[in-house]
Structure 1
Amino acid sequence: MTRKIALITGASRGLGASTALHLAAQGVDIIGTYHSNLVEAQAVIREVEKLGGRAVMLPLDVGQSSRFGEFIAEVSEALRSTFSRSSFDFLINNAGIGLHVPFVDMHEAQFDQMVNIHLKGPYFLTQGLLPLIADEGRIINISSGLARFSMPGASAYAMMKGGVEVLTRYLALELGPRRIRVNTLAPGAIATDFSGGMVRDNPQVNQHIANDTALGRVGLPDDIGGAISMLLAEGSGWINGQRIEASGGVHL
C-alpha cells in the first residue's frame, strides 16, 4: 500500500512539528517547511524517521509569494527523488506569525505583512501546488479562535484568519470535482513560542485563558496535531468546507 504524503508549512516547531509527528505515527510521510532554523527542521526529520517514516524539510518564507515557483519545483523534485511519486496527498497551510497591536497603533507595513503571510501566502501557495496534490487529497487551512471571538490587539491577525475561513469554503466548492476535501482547523490559545511565547510563558495570561476554557487549561501542541491527524484520517472524508475549532471550549 502506498504511503500518504503530507506537505506541512511551518513544520519545524510548534503546531507544525506536532502535526508532522502525529501524521508520521499514522504512517504518513512528510514534506515540511521551515523559515530559518535548519537545526529544528533536522530534529523533526529525525523524529519522523524514529516513527518509521520519511521526511524532507525545505526552506520557505510564505510571505514571499514571488518565490513560490522555486519552492514548488523543489517540492516536485523531492517527491521524485525521495518518495518516487509525482504528487502528494495532504496540504496543511500552517505557517504564520503572531501580531498583537491595538487598532489605533497599527502601521500599514505591519498590516501588509499579515496579508502576505496569512492570506496572500496560503492563497497563491495552494494555487501553485494544486497540480501536485492528488485527486481525493485533503487541504487543511489553519485559522484561529480569534476569528470567532474578539480580543484587543488582534484585529489584523484575526481579519486574515477570517479570510482564510472564507477561502476554505470556496476551495471546497471549486475543488469538489477533483474530490479534494478542504477544511479549516481553528486552534484556541496554545502554549508554544508563538507571539513570543505569551501563552506558554506568561502565568497571568495562561491562567486567564484557562479560567475561560471549559476544560480548564490552555491548549498544547499535541492537542492540535491530534486534531489535524483526525481530520486527515480515512473516516473523515465526508467532512468538507467546514470550520472546526480545537480550543477546549474557550469563551463558550
Structure 2
Amino acid sequence: MPEIALITGGNRGLGRAYALALAEAGVDLILTYRTPAKDAIEAVLAEARGLGRTAVAIPLDTREINTFDQFTATVREALRTTWERDDFDFLLNNAGTGPGATIADTTVEMVDEVFAVHFRGPFFLTQKLLPLIADGGRILNFSTGLSRFTGEGLYSAYGAMKGAVEVFTRYLAKEVAPRGISANVIAAGATATEFAGGGLLDENVGAYIGTQTARGRIGRPADIAGVVVAMLTGDTGWVTAQRIEASGGMLI
C-alpha cells in the first residue's frame, strides 16, 4: 500500500516541487490549493498521475480556520473513497506568503497576514488533522533561513513568525512522540521560485545570492525537495524536533 502525503499549497513553487518529488518516490498525494490556482493544481495532479501516483486536490485557505472542520471531513472522505484508508502518513504544512518591508514600514495588516498564514493556520490545521495521521507518520513544518540571518533586513515579521513555527515544532514533536510520529522543520535558504513576487528568479539577484552561499549559487526547488523526500521516505524516523536548514551554507 503506498504512503500518502498531504501537502498544503501544492500548486506552485516549493509545494509543487515537493509533490512531484514525492510522487517520483512512490508517494500518493493530497494537495491543497487556494481557489484561484485551480488550473495550476490540475497541472500538478496530471504530472503526478503521469508518474503513476494517485493524487487528489482539495481547496483550502489556511487563513480561514473556521473551514478546518469541513476540510478535515473532506480529507477523511477522500481517504475512504480513494484509498480505502482512514489515515495518511505525512503532513507538510507548506502554504505560505512572504510580504517584505522594513520594521518602520511594516503594517498591522502585514503582521496579521503572516501570523494567520504561517502560524495560526498550521497550528490549528495540524490540531484538526492529528487524528488522521497514521501512527509512525511524519510531520514537516517549514521555516526559513531568515529565522537565522537577517538577509537584507526586509522580512522581520516573516522571519519572526517562522521562529515561532520552529518552537511549535519542538512542542509538537514531544506531544506526538508516543504515537511514533516525528515532527521536524525544514528551513530553506534563498530559493529561485515565484515566492514573494518572484524576485528570486531574477538572474542578477540569483548571482548576488550565490556570492553569499558556500555552494556558490542560489537554491533550486529540487534542492529543498530532495531534503523533504529524504526526511519522509528515508530511514530518518529517529530524527525529531529538529530544525534542518537547506541553504547551501548561506551566510555562514
- Per the TM alignment, residue 251 of structure 1 is displaced from its structure 2 partner at its CA by 0.3
- Per the TM alignment, residue 106 of structure 1 is displaced from its structure 2 partner at its CA by 1.1
Q: Deviations over 1:109-161 (max 9, x none)?
A: 11111100000000000000001000110000010000011131100000110
Equivalent position of 1:18 in the other structure: 17
What residue identity is the alignment partner of 2:178? P
Stretches of structure 1 that go unaligned for 5 or more consecutive residues are none
Output the CA distance in 1 between the equivalents of 2:33 and 2:224. 18
CA RMSD across the alignment: 0.9
Equivalent position of 1:181 in the other structure: 182
- Per the TM alignment, residue 82 of structure 1 is displaced from its structure 2 partner at its CA by 1.1
- Per the TM alignment, residue 27 of structure 1 is displaced from its structure 2 partner at its CA by 1.0
Output the CA distance in 2 between the equivalents of 1:106 and 1:249. 29
What residue identity is the alignment partner of 1:56? V
User: Which TM-score applies when normalising by structure 2?
Assistant: 0.97
Q: How many residues align?
A: 250
Alignment partner of 1:68: what SS? helix
Output the CA distance in 1 between the equivalents of 2:204 and 2:177. 45
Equivalent position of 1:165 in the other structure: 166
Identity within the alignment, %? 50
Equivalent position of 2:89 in the other structure: 89
Superposed counterparts of 1:14-163, under 5 Å = 14-35=13-34, 36-151=36-151, 152-163=153-164
Stretches of structure 2 that go unaligned for 5 or more consecutive residues are none
Superposed counterparts of 1:189-204, under 5 Å = 189-201=190-202, 203-204=203-204
Equivalent position of 1:249 in the other structure: 249
Alignment partner of 1:27: what SS? coil
Deviates more, 1:64-73 or 1:111-120: 64-73
What residue identity is the alignment partner of 1:132? L
Output the CA distance in 2 between the equivalents of 1:6 and 1:213. 31
Output the CA distance in 2 between the equivalents of 1:210 and 1:197. 17
- Per the TM alignment, residue 204 of structure 1 is displaced from its structure 2 partner at its CA by 3.1
Output the CA distance in 1 between the equivalents of 2:120 and 2:30. 21
Output the CA distance in 1 between the equivalents of 2:248 and 2:234. 24
Q: Deviations over 1:201-251 (max 9, x none)?
A: 2x3322221100111111111111111010012411111110001111100
Alignment partner of 1:175: what SS? helix
Alignment partner of 1:190: what SS? coil
Output the CA distance in 2 between the equivalents of 1:82 and 1:247. 37
Equivalent position of 1:8 in the other structure: 7
Output the CA distance in 2 between the equivalents of 1:38 and 1:225. 22
Q: Deviations over 1:16-67 (max 9, x none)?
A: 1111111111111000011121111011111111111010011111111111
Q: Deviations over 1:165-202 (max 9, x none)?
A: 0011111111111111000001001101101101112x
Alignment partner of 2:85: what SS? coil
What residue identity is the alignment partner of 2:183? V
- Per the TM alignment, residue 70 of structure 1 is displaced from its structure 2 partner at its CA by 1.3
What residue identity is the alignment partner of 1:122? P
Output the CA distance in 1 between the equivalents of 2:234 and 2:194. 31
Alignment partner of 1:143: what SS? strand
